[in-house]
Amino acid sequence: MKLDHPLLTRLGGMLAAAAVRSWMGTLDYKGAFYDEAIDPAMPECRGQKIYIFWHEYILFPIYLRGHCNLAMLLSRHRDAEILSHAAYHLGFDFVRGSTNRGGVTALRELLRKSRRMHLAITPDGPRGPRRRLAPGAVFLASKLGLPLVAMGFGYDRPWRMGSWDRFAVPRLGSRARGISSPDIHVPPNLDRQGLEHFRAKIETLLNRLTTDAESWAAAGTRKLGQKNVYPRPARSGRHRIDPAATLAGPHQTASVGSAPRMNGK
């Protein structure tokens, strides 16, 4: 049987999902979010959104926000086959393709799913450059009329792989921290200049949130309004929402031009 046989791929996905649950389940998660209504696990979350985060931290949301009515965009590369099956077992729907590399079919599928689901995109994936936001997510937000939510994640002194994104593998039992923006509304029908303007602004914001989350995780200090964060268990369906705990922090608004500020330790 070939190593890329569908049966082996599905088995690999099940094993990968179990490994993610076991490994990521040892971490100490805390979030500092500015509006609890952006959290797809909260009953206050209304309307569909597009969540963006850097590829190197994909394990963070894939462990914590399964079963939250999310469809994740994953590449068609062979190395994403097992990830797509793992994402399914962890409570995600998914779309295979890219928003800017031969992704017409993926865009149509994202459009279809966005009518009833949130979308999750790693805007520097699948091949980089690292922490460089491709315009696809901004174009999609403008086209669909959905707000973007930028999510910065960080671990305390993670191991780094030698991949293009320096993929982060957290240490067992270490600190994991997340900081999120409020909704970012992108105007419809942007021309090329407008698309680049928002792309650059959102890239700066996402990098700042990520740097802040990494510093917070490394320092082990407190932030005003921080909350413990827990994964969403499945209820009576694979994508049902459990409204129990929250990722949210203090209510606040922010412009795309600058990252929201947090006070306290």
Element (H, E) at 136: helix 136-144
Query: Does 253 map to a domain?
Result: no
**Where in the sequence is the domain holding 103, given as residue range(s)?**
28-228
* Residue 82: per-residue pLDDT: 73
What is the domain count for the chain?
1
Long-range contacts of 209-212 (CB under 8 A, 24+ apart): 209/150, 209/151, 209/152, 209/179, 209/180, 209/181, 209/259, 210/53, 210/54, 210/57, 210/131, 210/152, 210/153, 210/154, 211/152, 212/152, 212/154, 212/179, 212/259, 212/262
Compute the distance between CA of residue 241 and CA of residue 87 in angstroms, rounded to an integer. Answer: 16
Query: Does 92 map to a domain?
Result: yes
Query: Does 50 map to a domain?
Result: yes
Q: Which residues lie across from 121 on neighbouring strands?
A: 52
* Residue 101: per-residue pLDDT: 54
Query: Does 234 map to a domain?
Result: no
Structure confidence at residue 75 as a pLDDT band (50, 70, 90)? confident
The tens digit of pLDDT for each residue in 86-143 reads 888 899 998 877 655 546 777 888 888 998 999 999 999 778 899 999 999 999 999 9
Per the CB < 8 A criterion, the answer to whether 135 and 199 are in contact is: yes
* Residue 56 DSSP symbol: G
Query: Does 174 map to a domain?
Result: yes
3-state DSSP assignment of residue 117: coil
Spell out the residues 6+ positions from residue 76 whose beta carbon is closer than 8 angstroms to its own.
Answer: 96, 97, 98
* Residue 97: per-residue pLDDT: 73
Query: Does 150 map to a domain?
Result: yes
Compute the distance between CA of residue 131 and CA of residue 128 in angstroms, rounded to an integer. Answer: 7
Query: Does 23 map to a domain?
Result: no
Average of pLDDT values for 184-190? 95
